[in-house]
Each structure stands twice: as structure tokens, then as C-alpha cells.
Amino acid sequence: MNTREMTDKIAAGQGFIAALDQSGGSTPKALAGYGVSEDEWDGEDEMFAKIHEMRARVITSPSFASGKVIGAILFEKTMDGEVDGKPTAEALKDRGIVPFIKIDQGLADEENGVQLMKPLSKLDALLEKSVAKGMFGTKERSVIKSANPAGIAAIVAQQFEVGNRVIDAGLMPILEPEYDIKAPDRAEGEDILKAEILKNLQTLADDRQVMLKLSIPVTANLYKELVDHPKVLAVVALSGGYSTEQACAELEKNDGMIASFSRAMLQDLRAQQSDEEFDATLGKAIDSICAASVA
């Protein structure tokens, strides 16, 4: 797939984007959920080798190439690795799946009710490498904890500043100002978040687009104006701690949003499953997430 074909595939939205981008801090928990305990690996290199085995098993599973997964977000080490003897991005594109790369370097301490991204000291080099490896886009996460207007304005401004740098490099940014689904004032804060995103979209040049990855809103279809915005290629939803069933039920209420789930897609997979069991389990999750995305 070339860039135009990948852009059209994401714009059509006939499926969902799989999030396979757990980083160092979240990898032990992801491995434990997969049935790989900490005594089965020693040190960071072995840990990342184990998680790459899991991701490669997902990518090569027949159900993953069913056409219902239209994109996948990768961690840098996954991008640097191989699947089926090919660079991971190429292995994905061979399966009709658009590759994205996680570019943030974690979260700063909370201030004004939000956690901004830590300074992106490796960004220019990572973008250059991502282009060389054939990636289509990027993903950058920060987190909103409360309906603080100053904090939300700062988090959205940072997302768009980094997004413009990504566009300058020739890639499509997924801006992810996640709203903590446990926040008691989330409905109020999501109204503030939407207004800030719309304000920043007005500053984008007419020939520029971004993607948005947002928590499924308390108010159904709150983000429909963003879905329909000409400067937004797609709005994708994170599962945010919901189970697969909960996330799909909430997503179905929001026209035009498609899923970009991680835990909700992988939660029932186990290293001990046979290939047939693994594929059947993954296929069941993919079917339900895709149905909710295109509902």
C-alpha cells in the first residue's frame, strides 16, 4: 500500500486500529496478562523479546488479516523487529494493515489536572527512522485527570505542536489527549476538551489533517463534529480500562468513531493456547470490536 491507499483506508474506517504499543513500563503487566510470568525472562532485552513474540503471534494469526483490522500502532522496538522474516511494517502492509508508531516518551508529573508528555528528546531521529521504515503515522499520548481549563488547553496545545512536527516529517499524527474514564468530572471536562480541539483545528493549514484518539465520551456523539471535520482524517476510541464488552457497548453509541483498542482486544489471549485456540479467541474479539466500530 502506498500513502494514498493507506490514507483512503483509514478515512473509510471499515474496521478498527489495533494498539500493540505497550512500552517498557506497561510490558510486564501485559506479559503477565498473557500468561508469561516474570520468572520466564531476565532483563529488559528478554522482556521485549517475549512481548515481540506475542505481538508477532497476533500479527500472523489468520484472524488479524481478516480485513477487520485496518491499522496497528507499534512500539519502537516492535517496528525495529521482524515478523515472518520481514520488517514489521512491511509484514503489516502485506496484510492490508496500516502501520503507526508510538512516539511519546511517557508522561510528566500531574499539573493543573493533566499529565503532559515528557520532552520528546528523540523525536526528530525517531520520525526520520519511521519514514525510512515505511510507517504511515504516529501516536502520542497524554492524560487528562480533571476538568481544569488551563490544563486541558495546555495538553491540547502540546498535542498539536507535536502533531505539526509529525506532519512536517511526512507522517500522519494521531493526537491522543486521553481523558481518565474514572474522573468524576469527565462530562464537563470533555466539553472543554472538544472546544480546545476545535480551536486548535482552526490553526491548521488547509492542506493538513490529523487523527484523534479519544476516550469514549460520557455524552454519546459528543465528538461527531470532530468526526465530520475536514481537518480530521479519523477519530478513534481508546478502551481506557473498559472490558471488551463494555468498550464495544459504549463505542456503538458514537457514530463515526472507530476503535483503537489494546487490552480490550488482547485480554483473553494466553501464551498457553494452541494456535487454533489463540486464533479463535482473537477472532472473536476482533469481530466484536469491528462490529462496534462500523455500527
C-alpha angle 241/30/126, rounded to 5°? 95
Place of cell 519502537: 76
Q: How many residues does the chain have?
A: 295
161 is catalytic: no
Greatest CA separation found in the chain?
53
The CA-atom distances, in angstroms, between 218 and each of 20, 183, 193, 234, 239 are 25, 11, 13, 19, 13
CA 124 to chain centre: 20
Closest C-alpha to 177, from 240, 258, 257, 267: 240
Q: What are the backbone dihedrals phi and psi of residue 141, each rounded to the nearest 5 degrees, phi first?
A: -115, 135
Strand partners, 101: 74, 138
Strand partners, 16: 69
Catalytic one of 140, 176, 178, 196: 176
How far apart are the C-alpha atoms of 114 and 144, rounded to whole Å?
4
68 is catalytic: no
Q: How many CB atoms lie within 10 A of CB 275?
A: 11
Catalytic one of 50, 93, 145, 213: 213
Q: How many CB atoms lie within 10 A of CB 111?
A: 12
The CA-atom distances, in angstroms, between 247 and each of 252, 253, 289 are 9, 10, 8
Give kind and range of the element (H or E) at residue 3.
Answer: helix 3-12
Place of cell 520520525: 127
Catalytic residues: 176, 213
